[in-house]
């Protein structure tokens, strides 16, 4: 959500908020997956002919989430007949919404907007309903429609009509998977740091209105897993988001940490005790004391944000273990720790020490190239008290979120082969 260079250099923060649920029907209950793809993939709706000449054709994924300026776009098909919508996957918020026509004062969108009047299954939520009461910022109009206003930490806002609609996914066996009566926001006025490829948002948080919770009504289990490909990956290759039985994270190498969030809370808060650089442990706090639930896992934010003091101590140790001299003569790079190199760094390995779960991070997950010939540390210091384990660090890890058991599991995985 923003110019890519600006995004990667300054690490803007996205996301937040809450809500409620409906009755769900689906074709089966064995689980299904959706794929995460880069926007430059030939499987993406934003793939151009010039890019096509540079890449091989592929069979194409079932459902999509495109790497888009450091975020991932997930394909949902809304309505009857289904219309494809690509929304930012965000574990830091709940509401699923799409830009809907007519759209007044909306951000520019490359693909056609969803037209609710053309869908046989579209149904606005009534203002006197329980679902309308549950969403913050609701209001009524003379036709008894429930209007909503939903905002994010970066001051992006969506305004529109809270509605129900059929959502079609592609399943792992290739058959369409239809979930009826998903509550979503039909956004008629949307502003903020959105990219023209963004057609809305897919809230994957822990609140009642998130896609995870709504699908969980059908399965009886609120859980999902994600496997994100690294930011710079061959554009033919995609990762996955899985629901139901298909979301199981098990086998060798799995580690699990408890969720510190309250049931129904949007944010996935976990406890980070510190980060090791090689064999050197750097505690979260210099006093080596830390509070439970001190960092959130957010797929909607690229960088990892940690307390400024922690960041300073961590960078000092990272710098000490890298033989190259940092790049200090480029004003575009600001105060970030960056190195001039054509290929990513050889080391060091960082280990994120969550409560009961030690997760190794390679340079692919901790250094990113904001421009050619430069790799920068993909973490930043923050003083606002909201600390984030971002999606760069989450790549090449199969991460399972179990809202009922209140756990998050991690398994080292080559997500390019999922």
Candidates 165, 130, 123, 147; CA nearest to 24 is 165
Cα 199 from Cα 184, distance rounded (Å):
13
User: Dihedral angle at the C-alpha atoms of 297, 299, 302, 308, nearest 10 degrees?
Assistant: -20
- Report which DSSP code applies to 245: G
- Report which DSSP code applies to 78: E
Candidates 58, 59, 62; CA nearest to 32 is 62
Q: Where are the alpha helices (DSSP H) in 171-223?
A: 211-219
DSSP of 251-308, one letter per residue?
STT-EEEE--SPTT-SS-EE-EEEEEETTEEEESSTTS---TT-EEE-TT-SSEEEEH
User: In which residue are the tokens 């959105």 written?
Assistant: 194
Tell me the catalytic residues: 90, 298
Lateral strand order in the sheet of 374-377: 338-340, 374-377, 367-371
């Amino acid at each position: 959500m923003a110019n890519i260079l600006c995004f990667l250099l300054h690490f803007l923060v996205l996301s937040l908020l809450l809500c409620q649920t409906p009755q769900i029907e689906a074709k089966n209950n064995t689980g299904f997956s959706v794929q995460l793809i880069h926007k430059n993939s030939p499987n993406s709706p934003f793939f151009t002919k010039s890019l096509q000449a540079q890449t091989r054709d592929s069979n194409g994924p079932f459902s999509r989430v495109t790497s888009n300026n450091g975020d991932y776009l997930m394909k949902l098909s809304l309505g009857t007949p289904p219309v494809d919508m690509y929304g930012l996957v965000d574990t830091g918020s709940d509401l699923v919404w799409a830009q809907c026509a007519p759209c007044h004062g909306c951000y520019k969108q490359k693909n056609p907007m969803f037209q609710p009047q053309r869908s046989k299954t579209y149904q606005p939520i009534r203002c006197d309903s329980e679902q309308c009461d549950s969403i913050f910022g609701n209001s009524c109009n003379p036709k008894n429609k429930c209007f909503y206003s939903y905002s994010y930490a970066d001051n992006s806002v969506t305004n529109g009509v809270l509605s129900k609609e059929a959502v079609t996914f592609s399943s792992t066996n290739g058959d369409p998977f239809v979930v009826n009566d998903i509550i979503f926001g039909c956004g008629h006025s949307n502003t903020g740091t959105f990219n023209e490829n963004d057609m809305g948002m897919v809230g994957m948080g822990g609140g009642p209105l998130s896609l995870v919770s709504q699908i969980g009504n059908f399965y009886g289990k609120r859980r999902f897993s994600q496997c994100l490909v690294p930011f710079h990956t061959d554009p033919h290759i995609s990762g996955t988001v899985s629901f139901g039985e298909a979301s199981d994270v098990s086998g060798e190498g799995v580690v699990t940490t408890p969720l510190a969030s309250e049931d129904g809370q949007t944010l996935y808060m976990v406890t980070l005790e510190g980060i090791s650089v090689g064999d050197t442990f750097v505690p979260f706090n210099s006093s080596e004391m830390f509070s439970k639930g001190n960092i959130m896992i957010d797929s909607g934010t690229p960088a990892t944000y940690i307390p400024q003091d922690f960041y300073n101590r961590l960078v000092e140790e990272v710098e000490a273990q890298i033989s190259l001299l940092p790049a200090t003569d480029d004003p575009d790079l600001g105060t970030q720790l960056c190195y001039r190199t054509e290929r990513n760094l050889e080391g060091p390995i960082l280990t994120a020490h969550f409560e009961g779960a030690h997760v190794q991070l390679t340079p692919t997950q901790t250094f990113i190239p904001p421009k050619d010939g430069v790799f920068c540390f993909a973490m930043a210091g923050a003083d606002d008290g909201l600390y984030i384990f971002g999606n760069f660090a989450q790549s090449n890890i199969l991460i399972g979120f179990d809202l009922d058991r209140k756990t998050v599991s991690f398994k080292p995985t080559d997500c390019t082969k999922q």
